[in-house]
Amino acid sequence: GAVVSQHPSRVICKSGTSVKIECRSLDFQATTMFWYRQFPKQSLMLMATSNEGSKATYEQGVEKDKFLINHASLTLSTLTVTSAHPEDSSFYICSARGSTEQFFGPGTRLTVL
Amino acid sequence: GDSVTQMEGPVTLSEEAFLTINCTYTATGYPSLFWYVQYPGEGLQLLLKATKADDKGSNKGFEATYRKETTSFHLEKGSVQVSDSAVYFCALSDSNNDMRFGAGTRLTVKP
């Protein structure tokens, strides 16, 4: 089946620094990619939807200046957490939509000290 | 907006026990319904899906039937195995084709 990769799988950073997470669709082109955040013992929350070549659409309550999303090509989307704080620590999952369904990446565990 | 409510866990069963994880949804229109599974340390994987009323999705011994009259999509398996231990998410694809997830149910199967 289709594969979506994320890099890095884990990252630890200091408060105030920025972290970039990459999401790639490895064997298909994804015109739409999604970024989710998963809190401990809670469900996935959709953060934003990005379409290749256009600005991302953010869900209500998600700060677009803090969570920068770039979808520069049909196989790559990036999420940058700017000026990270401990409350940004979470598990971030990307998803890419193929022709018939969404495929999920393995997730990135972000820990902000 | 569209939403999914699923049975909260955790659920602990003995091997070969019968599994039911309840899921109900609220939606305008006719969403597609999904069950995803997340094994420890991994991302989500599609387990099964149904795209219209009365459809039954099945995979790896798991089944779920799209019940429009009760707005439900309960997950069942007749005999669970230790390897089924994971977190299970019910989800729907809304009118914008965005996925909405339930809270997730952690299943632990003991030998």
- pLDDT tens column, B70-82: 999 999 999 999 9
Amino acid (one-letter) located at B71: T
* Residues 3-42 in B contacting A (C-alpha not used; CB under 8 Å): 36, 42
Chain-chain contact of B102 with A106 (C-beta, under 8 angstroms): no
Residues of chain B with Cβ-Cβ distance to A97 below 8 Å are: 97
What per-residue confidence (pLDDT) applies to B44?
A: 84
State the nearest Cα–Cα gap between B103 and chain A, in angstroms: 4
- Please indicate if any CB of chain B lies within 8 Å of the CB of A44: yes
* CA A50 to chain CA centroid, nearest Å: 10
Average pLDDT, chain A: 89
Phi, psi of A102 (to 5 degrees): -90, 145
pLDDT surpassing 80 at residue A40: no
- Encode pLDDT of A48-67 as tens digits: 999 888 889 999 899 999 99
Tokens encoding B27:
């939606």
Average pLDDT of the residues in A23-44:
85
- Please indicate if any CB of chain A lies within 8 Å of the CB of B87: no
Chain-chain contact of A104 with B104 (C-beta, under 8 angstroms): no
pLDDT surpassing 90 at residue A27: no
Residues of chain B with Cβ-Cβ distance to A92 below 8 Å are: none
Tokens encoding A92:
């971030």
Q: How far apart are CA A2 and CA B36, in angstroms?
A: 15
Torsion of CA B2, B5, B33, B67, to 10 degrees: -100
